[in-house]
């Protein structure tokens, strides 16, 4: 995963930012405020174009 971030990491450093690798599992279900993970945290995808 670090290899995938190397280009983005270099660009981020150049802009004075940092890049942090995260485990992508359940990131769309995890509450950003408290970290609780639940299926209900993800809004339904109904009526959204594919």
pLDDT tens per residue, the chain (50 residues)?
455 557 778 888 889 987 878 888 888 888 888 989 988 877 776 655 65
pLDDT at 49: 61
The model carries a pTM of 0.42
Q: Are 5 and 19 in contact (CB under 8 A)?
A: yes
Return the pLDDT at 39: 83
Residue 3 has phi, psi (to 5 degrees) of -65, -40
pLDDT value of residue 7: 79
């Amino acid at each position: 995963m670090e290899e995938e971030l190397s280009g983005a990491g270099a660009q981020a450093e150049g802009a004075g930012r940092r890049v942090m690798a995260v485990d992508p599992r359940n990131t769309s279900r995890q509450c950003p405020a408290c970290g609780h993970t639940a299926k209900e945290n993800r809004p339904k995808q109904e009526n959204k174009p594919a």
